[in-house]
Structure 1
C-alpha cells in the first residue's frame, strides 16, 4: 500500500481572520460515555465528539454489553450487564487504555486489551497494579504494558489503593469514574510527585458529583469515592477548547483575528487557560456572546509558562514560542515524555530540524528565537504534533507535515477547517 503524501501546510497571504466552530470535547465525551455506561439508567449525550478516540471508547463499551445508539446527533447510552469475552482496541487513546480497565473489572468474563504499536510502549503498570490491589484479576505477562487481560466475576471488592500518579492524572480519574460501582467504593491514596493535569482531575470529580456520587477530597493526595449508584444524566458536550489552540494561534502569529464560537463562560476544561496564554504572548483576548476572540498585535512576546495543568497544549504553545521575539520557557510538563509520543523530544527534534533552537529541560522546554526554514515536520502519529506543524507552516513556504490524518484522533475535519481559515476565513 502506498503511503499518503505529506500534507503541505497552507501559508496565508494576509492576516488570518475568521470564525471557527470546534467539535465536542474529547475529554468530556469519553468521561460522559464511561459514566453513562455504568449509570443506573439510560443517558442521552448531545454534541458528542465524532473522532477516533470516541469511536474507540464506544466500541470498547459496546463490546462488553453496553447499548449505544445514535439518532440525529443524539447518542443514547443504555447500561447493560457487563460481560466477556471481549476484545478492546485502545488505539493510541489514553482515555480508553486507562479508563476502560476499571470498568472491565466489573464485567463477568475476560476482557483483553491491545492497541496501536506505540500504545504498547506506554506504561500501564500504575492502573494495572491498582486494580490488582482492588481485587481484579490482571494478566500482563509481567510487563506493565499492553497487551493484557482483565478477568472479572461481575463485581469488584474495591477499597484502599496506593499508587503513584505523578506521570498522569488519568490513573486517578480512571478509578474515580468507576469507583462508586465497587462494593467498598474506592479510597485512592497518591504517594509521589504532584499529580499533573489537575484541571482534568477536577473535571472528572465535577462530572462524578453531578451524577450524585459522593467524593471526599478534603485530604491532599487522597480521593475517597463512596459506593452507590451513579445517576443517569443527559449531557450536552462542550466544544473541545484544546482543539481551539491552533486556530487562535493563527490570529496571534499573523496579526489577524479569530473567534472560536460557543466558548463557555465557565468550564472545567483546562483549555480555557488559552485565554491567559495568548494574552501573555501579547495578543488581545476577549470573551463575549459571540465566543472567544484572539487578535494579534503584530508582536509575539517570549513567555515563561507553567503548563503542568494543560500539558496537552504544549505542542501548539511551543510552535508559537518558536516564532516569538524572545526566549520562552515551558515548565511542569515532564509527564509529556509518556504521552502519545515523547512530546518533549519530538518538539525539540522537529523544530530544530527546521533551524530552531529548542532544548529540553528536566521538566519542559527552553525555546529561543531563531530564523526557521521549510522542511518536513514529523508527527509521530500524534495529533498535537500535527497541529504544531500546521502552526509553524503559517510562516514557512511549503512546510510538509507528515500524516496530517492523525488529527482524526480528536478532530477529523482539522485539515479542511484549517485550510479554509488560513486561505480565506472559516465559518463552519
Structure 2
C-alpha cells in the first residue's frame, strides 16, 4: 500500500485581475481511460489507447493489470506526437497485490477481473479507500460464484481468490451509493460463463451517464448489451458471454476536468476554449454547457472545440445534479460567487466519494465567509462577500480545483495540498497559471 503523496504545501491560488482569454488543452478522460484499459485487458487480441490520461488513477489501473499478467507498453504514436499505450491480453493470474490508491474505478472495476484470474489477488489502498463502499461489488460477485475474503467489512482490504473463470448469471444489487457497482460487473461480464443480468433494486441510480459510457464502450469492442436506454427493462442490464475485440481507441478530453477552466471564464467575464470537445459524448462533463450557460455564460461548439464566454454576471441555479454529481464542487464554487442563491440537489451519494464532499464544501466555503448549508441530498448556497483563507482539500482533487475557482475572485485564498489534483489532472497548477498568463 502506498500513501497519498505528501504534498501538503500551501499554494496561493492565483487572483484574476481581469478577464481570462485562453485556450486550454485538457488531458484525456480518466473514466474512458480506465474503462478502456479493463476492456483491452479482457480482449482476445491486442489493442491501442491513443491519448490516454496519465495520472495517479490511470497509472494505478495500468500497474494493477500488469500485476495480473497483462502487458501494457507505453510510448508515443508513429508520428512522434501523442502518447499511446499498447495493451496485450494474457492469462490473468495471481498471486498479486493491487494498490488501488483512492481510485473508485480501480477498487470497483478490478475485483471482477481478479475473479477471472487464477490464484489470490489482494486489494489494498489509501486509508480513505477503507471507508468507501464496496459491498455492492463484493456481494454481487459472491452471488455470481466468486470467493472473496473481506472479513465481513464490505470494504477494503480484501482478497479475491480467482478460479480462472466465473459462472455469472442473474444478480440483484443496490447501486444507489455508486453507479460504479453496475459498471464493474458489466465490464467483465462478457468473460463470465453465463454473462450477467444486473438488476438494480435500490433508490435512484446516481451518475447514469457513466453507465451509458460503460455500455457504449462495451458495444464498441463487440459485446452484446441489453439496457434500459434502448427499450430494455428498467434498471436491468444484460450482457451476453462473448469474446472482446482489440480496438484502436482515441480517448476524449476529460470534460469534467475542463470544468475549472470554463468556470474561470464565467467568474472573470472572460473566454476559454477547450479544443477537441466532442459533438456527442456520454461524459457527465458535457452537462456544463447547459449548467454554466444558465448561470450566466454562453458557449459555442465548433470544429476547434468548445468556446465558453462569461458575461461578468453569475446567476444562482436550482439544479438536480444526480446524474452529474462529480461536477458539484465546481458548481458550488461558482454559486458562492453568484448574485442569487443556489440549490444543488440529488447528490447525497457525494458523502461517500474521495471525501464527504458536501460536508467539506460547506466547511471550506463558510470559513471564507460564505453561507452554505447541507440538505438531505445536497447544498443550499447563499452568496456572501468572501475573504481569503486556507481552503482544505481532504486529498480530494475536485476540492482543490473548486478552491482555485474561488481564488480567482477572492484575494488571499490558499489551497492546502494542491498536489492532490494529480489524481486526474496532472500539472493543474501550471495549467491554471498558464491560463491566467495567456
Partner residue in 2 for 1:97: 107
Task: Say if 2:362 is the partner of 1:318.
Answer: no
Task: Say if 2:268 is the partner of 1:254.
Answer: yes
Q: TM-score by structure 2 length?
A: 0.96
Task: Say if 2:125 is the partner of 1:111.
Answer: no
Equivalent residue for 1:405, pick from 394, 415, 419: 419
Partner residue in 2 for 1:349: 363
Task: Say if 2:235 is the partner of 1:221.
Answer: yes
Partner residue in 2 for 1:79: 89
How far has the Cα of 1:3 moved from its partner?
6.2
Task: Say if 2:417 is the partner of 1:390.
Answer: no
Equivalent residue for 2:215, pick from 178, 196, 205: 205
Q: In structure 2, how many angstroms separate the alpha carbons of the residues matched to 1:4 and 1:333?
A: 28
How do 1:271-286 and structure 2 match up within 5 A?
A: 271-286=285-300
Q: In structure 1, how many angstroms separate the alpha carbons of the residues matched to 2:202 and 2:127?
A: 29
Equivalent residue for 2:206, pick from 169, 173, 196: 196
Q: Tell whether the 8 Å contact from 2:387 to 2:410 is kept in structure 1 after alignment.
A: yes
How far has the Cα of 1:67 moved from its partner?
0.4
How far has the Cα of 1:412 moved from its partner?
1.1
How far has the Cα of 1:363 moved from its partner?
0.9
How far has the Cα of 1:419 moved from its partner?
0.9
How far has the Cα of 1:4 moved from its partner?
4.0
Q: Secondary structure, in 3 states, of the residue corresponding to 1:209?
A: helix
Q: Secondary structure, in 3 states, of the residue corresponding to 1:27?
A: helix
How far has the Cα of 1:5 moved from its partner?
2.1
How do 1:137-286 and structure 2 match up within 5 A?
A: 137-217=147-227, 218-286=232-300
Q: In structure 1, how many angstroms separate the alpha carbons of the residues matched to 2:234 and 2:188?
A: 21
Q: In structure 2, how many angstroms separate the alpha carbons of the residues matched to 1:123 and 1:284?
A: 38
How far has the Cα of 1:51 moved from its partner?
0.3
Q: In structure 2, how many angstroms separate the alpha carbons of the residues matched to 1:391 and 1:3?
A: 20
Q: In structure 2, how many angstroms separate the alpha carbons of the residues matched to 1:285 and 1:70?
A: 36
Partner residue in 2 for 1:38: 42
Equivalent residue for 1:377, pick from 391, 403, 426: 391
Partner residue in 1 for 2:29: 25
Q: CA RMSD in A?
A: 1.0
Which 4+ residue blocks in structure 1 deviate beyond 3 angstroms?
Answer: 1-4
Q: In structure 2, how many angstroms separate the alpha carbons of the residues matched to 1:181 and 1:143?
A: 27
Q: Which runs of 5+ in 1 are unaligned?
A: none
Q: In structure 1, how many angstroms separate the alpha carbons of the residues matched to 2:6 and 2:296?
A: 44
Q: In structure 1, how many angstroms separate the alpha carbons of the residues matched to 2:140 and 2:161?
A: 14
Counting matched residue pairs gives 424
